[in-house]
Structure 1
Amino acid sequence: MQQIDWIVLIGTLVFIVLYGTWKTRKNKTVDDYLKGGNDANWWTIGLSVMATQASAITFLSTPGQAFHDGMGFVQFYFGLPIAMIIICWVFIPIYHRLKVYTAYEYLESRFDLKTRTLTAILFLIQRGLAAGITIFAPAIILSAVLGWNLHYLIIGIGTLVIIYTVSGGTKAVSVTQKQQMAIIFAGMFIAFLLILNYLPLDISFTNALEIAGANGKLDVLDFSFDFKNRYTFWSGIIGGTFLALSYFGTDQSQVQRYLSGRSLRQSQMGLIMNGLLKVPMQFFILLVGVMVFVFYQFNASPLHFNPAAVKDVKESAYASNYEALEAEKQSLDKQLNEKQIAYSVTEDASEKETLLEEIKIINVTEEELREQSRGLIKKANPEAETNDKDYVFIHFILNNLPRGLIGLLLAVILSAAMSSTASELNALGSTTTIDLYKRNTPGKDEKHYMHASKWFTLLWGVVAIGVASVANLFENLIELVNIIGSIFYGNVLGIFLLAFFVRFVKSKATFIAAIITQLIIVYMWSVDAMPYLWLNLVGCALVMGIAVLLQTVLPNAEKPSKETD
Structure 2
Amino acid sequence: MNALNLAVIVVYLVVVAWIGLRLSGKQKSSSDYFVGEGRMPWWTVCFSVVATETSVLTVISVPGGAYTDQGFGNVELAFGYIIGRTVVAIVLIPLYKRGGFVSAYQYLEVRFGRYLQGVASVTFVGTRLLAEGVRLFASAIPIKLLLSEFGLNVGYNVIIVVLTVITVVYTYLGGIKAVIWTDALQMGLYLVGAIIAISVLTGHVGASGWSQAFDAGKFKLLDTDFGLGHVLTSTFALPTAVIGGAIFAMASHGSDQLIVQRILATRTLRESQKAMIGSGIFIAIQFAAFSLVGALLWSYNGGKSAKELGLTSADSLYPNFILHGLPVVISGLLVAGILGAAMGSLSSALNSMANSTVADIIRSFSRRGLDDDAMLRLARVMTLVWAVLMALFAMGFSSTAGNVYLTALTIAGYTYGALLGAFLLGRLIKRANQFDAVVAFIVTVLVMTFVVRVVKVDVEVAGKMVQKGIAAQWLVPIGVLVTLLVGGISSLLHPAPRPASEPARVVA
Q: Which amino acid aligns with 2:293?
A: V
TM-score, normalized by length of structure 2? Answer: 0.89
Q: Which amino acid aligns with 1:551?
A: S
Aligned to 1:531: 471
Aligned to 1:467: 393
Higher alpha-carbon deviation: 207-216 or 34-43 = 207-216
Pairing of 1:74-473 with structure 2 (within 5 A): 74-145=75-146, 146=148, 147-199=153-205, 203-204=206-207, 207-225=208-226, 226=230, 227-297=232-302, 302-303=307-308, 388-441=313-366, 442-471=368-397, 472-473=400-401
Q: Distance in 2 between matches of 1:420 and 1:114?
A: 29
Confirm or deny: 8 A CA contact 2:195 2:289 kept in the other structure.
no
Confirm or deny: 8 A CA contact 1:508 1:558 kept in the other structure.
no
- Compute the displacement of 1:76 (Å): 2.3
Distance 1:242 1:300, change over 3 A: closer
- Compute the displacement of 1:476 (Å): 11
Q: Distance in 2 between matches of 1:181 and 1:255?
A: 18
Query: Deviation digits for residues 155-214 of structure 1, max 9, x if unmatched?
Result: 111111111111111111111122212212221111111112222xxx41xx22332233
Confirm or deny: 8 A CA contact 2:80 2:241 kept in the other structure.
yes
Matched, 1:512 2:449: no
- Compute the displacement of 1:301 (Å): 5.6
Aligned to 1:48: 48
Distance 1:299 1:72, change over 3 A: closer
Confirm or deny: 8 A CA contact 1:243 1:486 kept in the other structure.
no
Distance 1:26 1:504, change over 3 A: same
Identical columns (%): 29
Q: Distance in 1 between matches of 2:40 and 2:274?
A: 12
- Compute the displacement of 1:223 (Å): 2.3
Q: Distance in 2 between matches of 1:420 and 1:268?
A: 22
Higher alpha-carbon deviation: 138-147 or 396-405 = 138-147
Aligned to 2:68: 68
Q: Distance in 2 between matches of 1:534 and 1:389?
A: 26
Confirm or deny: 8 A CA contact 1:242 1:490 kept in the other structure.
no
Q: Distance in 2 between matches of 1:171 and 1:5?
A: 29
Query: Deviation digits for residues 63-112 of structure 1, max 9, x if unmatched?
Result: 11211222223322221111122111111111111111100011011112
Unaligned runs of 5+ in 1: 308-387
Confirm or deny: 8 A CA contact 2:33 2:175 kept in the other structure.
yes
Confirm or deny: 8 A CA contact 1:40 1:261 kept in the other structure.
yes
- Compute the displacement of 1:391 (Å): 2.1
Q: Which amino acid aligns with 2:20?
A: G
Q: Distance in 2 between matches of 1:12 and 1:28?
A: 28
Unaligned runs of 5+ in 2: 457-469, 502-508
Distance 1:6 1:475, change over 3 A: same
- Compute the displacement of 1:482 (Å): 4.7
Aligned to 2:499: 562
Aligned to 1:484: 411
Q: Distance in 1 between matches of 2:490 and 2:311?
A: 51
Distance 1:394 1:468, change over 3 A: same
Higher alpha-carbon deviation: 218-227 or 108-117 = 218-227
Q: Which amino acid aligns with 2:22?
A: W
SS state of the match for residue 291, structure 2? Answer: helix
- Compute the displacement of 1:18 (Å): 1.4
Q: Distance in 2 between matches of 1:183 and 1:158?
A: 20
Q: Which amino acid aligns with 1:87?
A: V
Q: How many residues get paired? A: 475
Q: Distance in 1 between matches of 2:173 and 2:216?
A: 50
- Compute the displacement of 1:487 (Å): 2.6
Q: Distance in 1 between matches of 2:245 and 2:163?
A: 30
Confirm or deny: 8 A CA contact 2:49 2:262 kept in the other structure.
yes
Distance 1:562 1:209, change over 3 A: farther
Distance 1:230 1:44, change over 3 A: closer
Q: Which amino acid aligns with 2:75?
A: V
Q: Distance in 2 between matches of 1:140 and 1:161?
A: 18
Q: Distance in 1 between matches of 2:252 and 2:472?
A: 15
SS state of the match for residue 141, structure 1? Answer: helix
Q: Which amino acid aligns with 1:435?
A: D
Q: Based on CA coordinates, which of the two structures has the bigger radius of gyration?
A: 1
